[in-house]
Amino acid sequence: MKRRALWIVVVVLLMIIGSGFVPTGYDVLFAGNPFNLDEFVQYEGGSELEGDLGMTYVASLQNSRWPLMVLTLLLEEGVEVVPSVSGQQDMEIGEIDYQNKQMMTQSKIKAEYIARGVLGEDPKLELLGFYPVFYLADWDYKDAVKVTDLLVEIDGEKLESYEHFDQLIVEKEPGENTILTLLRDGETIEVDVTTYPHTDYYGNTVLGVFFEEVFDTSKDENIQWQNIENLGGPSAGLMITLTLLDKMMEDSLIKGNAVAGTGTITIDGEVGPIGGVKQKVIGAANAGFDYFIVPQDDGWENNEGVARKTVNEEGLDITLIPVGNIEDAVKALQKLPEKK
């Protein structure tokens, strides 16, 4: 009997130890400390930042192991456990790295174009094509479109804008044959695919792979980016734009305040929603920032609502600044009181 009890204890211990090497199938999200963008965004001959501009981010443990999940739940703030997205795209590490760099490259181009436009300049802008950002897992043709491809035509029609691209797909039926013209390794190729067999939430036809624009703009040689590729992708767009603007303007936007924030930005200066708002606002407050810029709610997305709920429930000492576009953000910052 004693021997049997001993074996039971041994088996239980081995199971506990073994579980530490078994992925849970869940990602653990928690608050990360914002990056101060001063050193990453440079403008030769421009102004120094009078205060701090921080880009927030969500720290995560992807497909975490049980012991790390438990420790994170006990030790970190703003923790959320969500089904793991790791591996859903079935992409290699190199492909993911390429995609992240492409996203940041486009964030930089948008920041330069928008900032110069706000200051009254008229930089040139060219749409080069569209790069893939997300594949529906059960689309039969996901191997036909590579992460490094650039989409330039659909059914022989050159794409002039995202609206043009979207209209060409919406006009099709689910499962309809489509010819994509792609730039791959410097050569133009055509691939035959079909649209996704099911419509989206709104009843519209979709392709099965989602794209974002690839722009290029005339360069201002005074603008320099220092190791900014390490910061992430599209959610950095708003904050690096504001940092560049502050350094290009004669009068400081933030006037000694510590301002953190997040939000995507379109080439037209519209601020878009992001994920992980709860973790980002907690991270900003914990790091001592005075203000947090958040994409305002538009009836569908609820970044602002989540941020307000988090501030109230967690008792955070930080003021929210909801914005819908770059003009909103600039005006809000210009109204801030000067902080010595």
Alpha-carbon torsion (18, 20, 23, 26), positive or negative: positive
| pLDDT band, very low/low/confident/very high, at 18 (cuts 50, 70, 90) | very low
For position 89, what pLDDT does the model report? Answer: 56
For the chain, domain boundaries: 33-88+225-334, 125-217
pTM of the model: 0.86
Highest mean pLDDT (candidates 17-21, 217-221, 229-233): 217-221
CATH number of 125-217: 2.30.42.10
Alpha-carbon torsion (235, 241, 41, 320), positive or negative: negative
pLDDT digits (tens, 9 = 90+) for 261-304: 999 999 999 999 888 999 999 999 999 999 999 999 976 668 99
User: CATH number of 33-88+225-334: 3.30.230, 3.40.390, 3.30.450, 3.50.50?
Assistant: 3.30.230
Cα separation, 211 vs 288, in Å, equals: 37
Least confident stretch, 21-25, 120-124, 166-170 = 21-25
Alpha-carbon torsion (4, 5, 10, 13), positive or negative: positive
What mean pLDDT is predicted for residues 330-334?
96
Cα separation, 215 vs 154, in Å, equals: 18
What mean pLDDT is predicted for residues 145-151?
95
- Supply the mean pLDDT for the chain: 87
pLDDT digits (tens, 9 = 90+) for 26-72: 777 888 889 899 989 999 998 889 999 999 988 777 776 666 666 66
Task: Give the pair of three-digit tokens for residue 98.
Answer: 């390429």
